[in-house]
Chain A
Amino acid sequence: MLSPEAFADAYDDETLHEELPDSPVGSLRDLQYLYGKLYTLATTGGGEYAPYLTPDAAEDLIDTDRSLVVVRVDLSGEEPRLADDDRGPVWITRYTDDLVTKVAHCYFANKGAGIDHSITHKSGQRKSPEKLGKYATDRLTRWPTEDAVAELAGEHDDGWIINKLAAAGESEELVQNVKQEVKRQLDGEKTTAVLTVQIRREEDGEYLWPGELDVIMEGMRRQRLSKLVTKNKADDSSGEATDIVTGAKTRTVGTADDPQNYFLGKQREKFPGLDIEQAWRSHPISEDAAVTVMNADAFTDACSFYALGARVFYLPYPFGTITPEGARDLYRLLYAILDHDGLNPVEKAYDKTREGERVFGDGSELRFYVSAVLAHQTSRYDVVGETLNGKLFYPRHLAQTHNQVVKTEPFLDSEWTAPFPTNENWALLSGSDEQLGSVTGGWYFTQTFADHDDDEAEEDDPRIDALVAVLSGESIAVEQLLDEYTDRITTETNDEDREFPSFLVASQFAQLCALANDELNLLSTTDDAKESITREPAYEKPPMETVEDILPDGGNPGEAKLESFIEQTPAIAPTEDGDDTTDQRRGAFLLGALVGAVGNYQGYDLGRSTTLIDQFPVKSITQTRIKKVTQEAIGKTVTYTREEGRTVTKFSHIVERLRETVLNPEPDEWVLDTDDLRFYYALGVTYGMNDRATSNNEDT
């Protein structure tokens, strides 16, 4: 396979212009065709027969001893005979790079048992001289008599060559000679080899390789094509139609393979009377396009990996009609992805752009075809998320934004602790260079969404929805996020011995903030009450004013911090237009904050094993219980205030605000749904637990 540099040297603009499709990628087939073209150009070169060749199939034999067995036949005389020149009737040598196109091997895997369509055949591993002798003679006895090849003999100008090869195969004496010669030269050694022929057409002529004889190549092509219309027991699924790839009116075939198995012969369907013989009508693909599309699989395989129990494909391509320069750049990228260094195509492309390069030097926009495929069986597939319009911008910007969010005020310690915990071991709370890989591999959502079985992916896995949405810039429903978040929080607290999952809640909140980023705009809702959640919070980035700067008179730093957090978080900030849904959400948040703060005090300062946090777990919070929980929590603060003989109510900065919001309007009239209340309650608990001085000398 050519290196990107060799590829650029080998193909000038004019050649590429001729070889490449002249319309933009508008479907998966277009994209597979483009990949197949690049692959063919990089391996077997251009030309009529190049897409049919499979140079990789025998790549392992290159430059090994006794890896090429050539049966040399002279067809120049009346009767076919074996060569009698210096090189002899059978030539056993090394298979080398420069012989690949001459030997012209065409192999296709077929459910474990592969098949060679070319006159050239690759033997199995380490075969005996007897076996190899037999395979060598098969070149003459079998290949020329295959139906599709024999048919060509009557049509092609050089058809006589096929007939004469067949005649050679019928000569018992000639066949025995070949076998003996192979046996003699191998001298008892087993070997793995490519077996082929050389043919002399006329007296004093050269012995030619299969790749140098059009009739042999055409025979190979016919053999290959005959399989495109007979798969799955079809007799002849072909007909004249418009090629889905090139738009040309031509012979199209109905049972060609699709590298991604989206289109197969027999299907259960809503449409009646599916007839495999007519498959070419609904999926018309020309023979050449079908074969080229099949050659895409080296690249499509490299651009896929397993995530969330599904096989995820990321196929990069330039938006719009491809230019020669664009083709070279795409090849460079695909070549780099083949490298198998563990980076997925999105990360690879990002690596390039990070170095200041554009993926496409001609200015084309980079897009990705993205799909998540569940393979139940080899012929039972489901695609659960798909887009032709994935953009590098979204996952890249999301990863960066998330890393920035956790460097903003709510996540940073000062004199007073950060409202939310940070932990270097939690990538979602500390920022990470691997955040992009986490986003594109689905791990980003696995950490925060409800538990799903990774081995058995499901059609309705919301993580896959979220993953594909992020890649294509579509939005995720806030309702779904809150549902997943609260589901995960309640699962994590089901076990009574476990502590409140404050790292989880903080991670979810950071994710929510990142998704709400203005430029990304990845959150949507159909519920007016949730619109404020989709807005980006305005947290300060460091260097920020310290609490002491804000409060030179030494007021309560916790109060200032809470005030600014509420102000900067659109989902819970008071509004001027009287939208009381943010008031309700703020009520739930403040209640959580009080429960968290009191619970923390009970646990740390009073050494209680059961605290308010355990008493009012997230799953117990409903609209009807808000009032009761509020009364209990406030009651506790009164008790502790009295016990400590304080003049100011303990946690007064939270209590005062909570009183205001929970009274107006009454929780009975709240309109927020349970997931909404619970998530912001959980967020509050996390906040409250962290709402304390970093050193112990301050307390309120």
Chain B
Amino acid sequence: MGQESLDDWTEEGSFPSRCLSVTVRGPWGHFRRVEGNVVKQTYRVMPRTTVAGLLAAVLGIERDGYYELFGPEQSAIAIEPTEELRAVNMPMNSLSTADGNLRSLNGRGKVSMQLPDPTALRQQHNYEVLVEPAYRIDVALRDAERYAELRELLDAGKSHYVPSLGLSEHLAELEYHGEFEVESQPASGKVNVDSAVPNAVDSLVVKPKVKSGIEESPAFMTTDEGGRTTTAFTTYAYNADGGALPVDNIETSRVGDRTVVFV
């Protein structure tokens, strides 16, 4: 993991040629599925947009400020669930956070904040929460400066904002594995992929003992004057037990001794 000159590789044709590898884990995680708001179900695989948000938190980039950095062609991310993906139901009491139901504290002051009316009646809802989720993330950025910054921060175990797994109360722990060369492997026959496999459901080799699941989650975002929108979704195939997934005839990448697929 020497500190080589960035120019050595960023100018080369293939992307990514190197990546940073980090495991994020925590006791709990909740990645709200977009098709529900009444119901609070979670994705099993950490969505790519959430990974980008977490890494942006490490880099100290504000909300809505990192979509280009982690955009298509600008970044490559592989996500590997490393533990069995397990969820429990967790009923929680919540208050309305609609504008009309928020109270301002110190509304005219320099620093003001809004909070829900604490005297209002709570409504209980069930949150589906992941238990001890852990994901190994491989990430490459075209922006060499940001990439180097991320490498330093991960290496030093530092982060600007507190990293979390979905909701802010689900704190995440980051374990940096170092920088790895990425060796792309052309499609040829069957291969066991360690990471979740994006957009290749039809290439999955269905085996009775392998608990393969699929889910579609937001992958890329953009902003406009009114807020943010998702620009692309990705359908991930994953192994619910946390092991490798057998796939037929797709392009993969070697990162160290692992086989992953970037998107």
Which of A205-213, A280-288, A541-549 is the contact stretch? A280-288
| CB <8 Å contact, B97 and A272 | yes
Is B34 in the interface zone, CB < 8 Å from A?
yes
Is A268 in the interface zone, CB < 8 Å from B?
yes
Is A3 in the interface zone, CB < 8 Å from B?
no
Is A330 in the interface zone, CB < 8 Å from B?
no
| CB <8 Å contact, B233 and A242 | yes
| CB <8 Å contact, A241 and B36 | no
List, in ascending order, chain B residues with CB within 8 A of A268's CB.
Answer: 94-97, 123, 125
A interface size (C-beta, 8 A): 59
Q: Mark A380-422, 1 if CB is under 8 A from B, else 0.
A: 1111111111000100000000000000000000000000000
Which of B146-154, B156-164, B223-231 is the contact stretch? B223-231
- With contacts A239-B226, A262-B36, A264-B38 taken as known, whether A27 is within 8 angstroms of B215 at the C-beta atoms is yes
List, in ascending order, chain B residues with CB within 8 A of A262's CB.
Answer: 35-39, 41
| CB <8 Å contact, B35 and A263 | yes
The answer for the CA separation of A261 and B216 in the assembled complex, in Å, is: 19
The answer for the CA separation of A320 and B247 in the assembled complex, in Å, is: 13
List, in ascending order, chain B residues with CB within 8 A of A321's CB.
Answer: 201-202
List, in ascending order, chain A residues with CB within 8 A of B14's CB.
Answer: none
Q: How far is the CB of A425 from chain B (nearest CB, A)?
A: 35
Is A108 in the interface zone, CB < 8 Å from B?
no
Q: Indicate the size class of the contact surface on chain B.
A: 35 or more
Is A218 in the interface zone, CB < 8 Å from B?
no
| CB <8 Å contact, B37 and A383 | no
Of the residues B97, B215, B229, B240, contact of A269 by C-beta under 8 Å: B97
| CB <8 Å contact, A267 and B37 | yes
Is B213 in the interface zone, CB < 8 Å from A?
yes
The answer for the CA separation of A278 and B226 in the assembled complex, in Å, is: 8
The answer for the CA separation of A478 and B150 in the assembled complex, in Å, is: 43
Q: How far is the CB of A312 from chain B (nearest CB, A)?
A: 14
Of the residues B35, B99, B125, B212, contact of A382 by C-beta under 8 Å: B125
Q: Mark A270-292, 1 if CB is under 8 A from B, else 0.
A: 11111100100111100000000
Of the residues B94, B98, B114, contact of A270 by C-beta under 8 Å: B94
| CB <8 Å contact, B35 and A389 | no
List, in ascending order, chain A residues with CB within 8 A of B52's CB.
Answer: none
Q: Which residue of A lies closest to B125 (CB)?
A: A382
Is B74 in the interface zone, CB < 8 Å from A?
no
Q: Which residue of B lies closest to A524 (CB)?
A: B84
| CB <8 Å contact, B95 and A474 | no
Q: Which residue of B lies closest to A272 (CB)?
A: B97
Greatest chain B CB density within 10 A among A268, A319, A465 is at: A268
| CB <8 Å contact, B232 and A247 | yes
- With contacts A26-B216, A26-B235, A389-B213 taken as known, whether A381 is within 8 angstroms of B38 at the C-beta atoms is yes
Is B249 in the interface zone, CB < 8 Å from A?
no
| CB <8 Å contact, A380 and B38 | yes
Is B211 in the interface zone, CB < 8 Å from A?
yes
Q: Mark A246-264, 1 if CB is under 8 A from B, else 0.
A: 0101000000001001111
| CB <8 Å contact, B240 and A474 | yes
- With contacts A284-B229, A460-B91 taken as known, whether A388 is within 8 angstroms of B126 at the C-beta atoms is no
| CB <8 Å contact, B214 and A388 | yes
- With contacts A23-B235, A24-B214 taken as known, whether A379 is within 8 angstroms of B38 at the C-beta atoms is yes
- With contacts A268-B97, A273-B99 taken as known, whether A27 is within 8 angstroms of B35 at the C-beta atoms is yes
Is B187 in the interface zone, CB < 8 Å from A?
no
Is A30 in the interface zone, CB < 8 Å from B?
yes
Q: Mark B21-65, 1 if CB is under 8 A from A, else 0.
A: 000000000000111111101000000000000000000000000
The B contact surface, by secondary structure, is strand
| CB <8 Å contact, B123 and A241 | no
Is A28 in the interface zone, CB < 8 Å from B?
yes
| CB <8 Å contact, B41 and A386 | yes
List, in ascending order, chain B residues with CB within 8 A of A385's CB.
Answer: 89
The answer for the CA separation of A299 and B154 in the assembled complex, in Å, is: 50
Q: Which of B67-95 contact A (CB under 8 A)?
A: 86, 89, 91-92, 94-95
Of the residues A239, A320, A393, contact of B208 by C-beta under 8 Å: A393
The answer for the CA separation of A30 and B214 in the assembled complex, in Å, is: 12
Q: Which residue of B lies closest to A458 (CB)?
A: B91
Q: Which of B228-260 contact A (CB under 8 A)?
A: 228-233, 235, 240
Of the residues B91, B126, B214, B232, contact of A242 by C-beta under 8 Å: B232
| CB <8 Å contact, A278 and B202 | no
List, in ascending order, chain B residues with CB within 8 A of A365's CB.
Answer: 206
Is B167 in the interface zone, CB < 8 Å from A?
yes
- With contacts A23-B235, A241-B229, A281-B227 taken as known, whether A28 is within 8 angstroms of B35 at the C-beta atoms is yes
Q: Which residue of B lies closest to A461 (CB)?
A: B89
List, in ascending order, chain A residues with CB within 8 A of B206's CB.
Answer: 319, 365
Is A657 in the interface zone, CB < 8 Å from B?
no
Is A567 in the interface zone, CB < 8 Å from B?
no
| CB <8 Å contact, A389 and B235 | no
- With contacts A261-B38, A263-B37, A266-B98 taken as known, whether A241 is within 8 angstroms of B230 at the C-beta atoms is yes
Q: How far is the CB of A67 from chain B (nearest CB, A)?
A: 39
Is A29 in the interface zone, CB < 8 Å from B?
yes
Of the residues A266, A270, A381, contact of B39 by C-beta under 8 Å: A381
List, in ascending order, chain B residues with CB within 8 A of A266's CB.
Answer: 96, 98
| CB <8 Å contact, B99 and A389 | no
Is A244 in the interface zone, CB < 8 Å from B?
yes
The answer for the CA separation of A262 and B36 in the assembled complex, in Å, is: 5
Q: Which residue of A lies closest to B202 (CB)?
A: A320
Q: How far is the CB of A607 from chain B (nearest CB, A)?
A: 51
Q: Which of B99-142 contact A (CB under 8 A)?
A: 99, 102, 114, 123, 125-126, 128
| CB <8 Å contact, A389 and B240 | yes
| CB <8 Å contact, B35 and A272 | no
The answer for the CA separation of A382 and B94 in the assembled complex, in Å, is: 13
Is A667 in the interface zone, CB < 8 Å from B?
no
Q: How far is the CB of A28 from chain B (nearest CB, A)?
A: 5
Is A459 in the interface zone, CB < 8 Å from B?
yes
Q: Mark B203-225, 1 if CB is under 8 A from A, else 0.
A: 01010100111111000000000
Greatest chain A CB density within 10 A among B204, B212, B216 is at: B216
The answer for the CA separation of A274 and B235 in the assembled complex, in Å, is: 27
Is A473 in the interface zone, CB < 8 Å from B?
yes
| CB <8 Å contact, A384 and B201 | no
Q: How far is the CB of A325 from chain B (nearest CB, A)?
A: 15
Q: How far is the CB of A252 from chain B (nearest CB, A)?
A: 8
The answer for the CA separation of A239 and B212 in the assembled complex, in Å, is: 35
List, in ascending order, chain A residues with CB within 8 A of B201's CB.
Answer: 24, 26, 319-321
List, in ascending order, chain A residues with CB within 8 A of B39's CB.
Answer: 262, 373, 381-383
- With contacts A274-B97, A320-B201 taken as known, whether A282 is within 8 angstroms of B126 at the C-beta atoms is no
| CB <8 Å contact, B229 and A29 | no
Of the residues A258, A271, A384, contact of B97 by C-beta under 8 Å: A271
Q: Which residue of A lies closest to B234 (CB)?
A: A26
The answer for the CA separation of A242 and B214 in the assembled complex, in Å, is: 20
List, in ascending order, chain B residues with CB within 8 A of A270's CB.
Answer: 92, 94, 97, 167
| CB <8 Å contact, B212 and A389 | yes
List, in ascending order, chain B residues with CB within 8 A of A281's CB.
Answer: 226-229
| CB <8 Å contact, B215 and A26 | yes
List, in ascending order, chain B residues with CB within 8 A of A29's CB.
Answer: 35
| CB <8 Å contact, B37 and A264 | yes
The answer for the CA separation of A25 and B214 in the assembled complex, in Å, is: 8
The answer for the CA separation of A382 and B126 in the assembled complex, in Å, is: 6
4 closest Cβ pairs, A-B complex? A26-B216, A26-B235, A382-B126, A262-B36
The 5 listed contacts between A and B (C-beta, < 8 Å) are A270-B94, A273-B97, A384-B89, A389-B240, A474-B86
Taking A283-B37, A459-B126 as given, write out 9 further A-B residue pairs in contact, using a Cβ cutoff of 8 Å, ordered by the A residue number: A263-B37, A268-B96, A272-B114, A282-B37, A320-B201, A321-B202, A383-B36, A393-B208, A519-B208
